[in-house]
Amino acid sequence: MISHSTRVFGHRGAKGYLAENTLESIEKALSFQVDGIEIDVHLCASGELVVFHDFTLDRMTNGTGEVGKQTLEVLKKLIVNGGFQIPTLEEVLNFIDKKYILNIELKGKNTAIKTAEILDHYVKKHGWNYADFIVSSFQHTELENTFQINKNIPLAVLTKASVSGAIDVAKTIQAKIIHPNFALLTVDNVKLAQSQGYEVNTWTVNDADTISRMKQYGVNGIISDVPDKI
Ligand code: G3P
Ligand code: CA
């Protein structure tokens, strides 16, 4: 059966159209009426969370070296390919203003504490609900730290290795969502995960055949560089 309620998440904004993890890329994704946006965060040297995928600046900016070793002042002066700026997590939150789900992937180390602090602030002071967020990571330590700090934050276990392994991790942190790479999925393991109470959001699904197959499997959500194609 084909699900008609698959949630659509723009991957790094709309990576297929504009420089990933920029406000402009997010704006593009929102123009496609997505349900949510996926972004990546790193902690920079001056203590802020910046929205950026790679651990190094070289591929996506005119800078070089590790993101985590630069201050926000330095990072803000860099030009992201195409003429954009690296946003902070707060800038993204203000931009999407609780109208969409925000999936924050804790990409860099030591991102859990600051993320939990910011999300708590936006719930208490800016009218967001915890259900507006999904905090995901491949790094189980960051997920575990988030769980210890604030048990209200919805957590998702990222995996490119094993659906059952992700569920094993999810059990330890009361996560109700798993984010497996699409290549791990079958109709049976999607149904099994869902029958055990887990939502399954898969990534990064861009081509028509895979989009169709994931919908036939009945995944809950699809994270895509081209969210208008879902
Ligand atoms: O969150 C899904 C996906 O973004 C994980 O892989 O490398 O694109 O951050 P990556
Ligand atoms: Ca990501």
Ligand 2: distance of its center to the CA of 74 in Å?
Answer: 23
Protein residue whose Cα sits closest to atom 2 of ligand 1: 203
* Alpha carbons 117 and 122: distance in angstroms, whole number: 9
Ligand 1: distance of its center to the CA of 188 in Å?
Answer: 23
For residue 11, indicate whether it is catalytic: yes
Instruction: Give the residue-averaged pLDDT of 197-208.
Output: 98
Predicted local confidence at residue 1, as pLDDT: 40
8 A C-beta contact, residue 15 and residue 229:
no
Answer whether 201 contacts ligand 1 (Cβ < 6 A).
no
Number of C-beta neighbours around residue 4 at 10 A: 6
Ligand 1 atom closest to Cα of residue 203? 2
**What does DSSP say about strands 133-137 and 155-159: parallel, antiparallel, or unpaired?**
parallel
How close are the terminal C-alpha atoms of the chain, in Å?
Answer: 16
Q: What is the largest CA-CA distance in the chain?
A: 51
* Alpha carbons 230 and 151: distance in angstroms, whole number: 32
* Alpha carbons 101 and 132: distance in angstroms, whole number: 5
* Structural domains of the chain, with CATH: 7-229 (3.20.20.190)
Token pair belonging to 165 = 């392994």
* Alpha carbons 180 and 186: distance in angstroms, whole number: 11
Predicted local confidence at residue 2, as pLDDT: 43
Instruction: Give the residue-averaged pLDDT of 63-85.
Output: 98
| CB-count burial class (<10 Å; 0-12, 13-18, 19+) for 33 | exposed
Q: Would the pLDDT of 166 be above 90?
A: yes
Predicted local confidence at residue 176, as pLDDT: 98
Ligand 1 atom closest to Cα of residue 138? 5
Nearest CA to 134 among 9, 24, 23, 4? 9
Predicted local confidence at residue 3, as pLDDT: 46
Q: Would the pLDDT of 5 be above 90?
A: no
Ligand 1 atom closest to Cα of residue 136? 1
* Alpha carbons 26 and 44: distance in angstroms, whole number: 21
Percent of the chain with pLDDT over 90: 98
Token pair belonging to 86 = 């690296």
Predicted local confidence at residue 4, as pLDDT: 54
* C-alpha torsion 106→225→164→113, nearest 10: 10
For residue 179, indicate whether it is catalytic: no
Q: Would the pLDDT of 134 be above 90?
A: yes
Predicted local confidence at residue 101, as pLDDT: 98
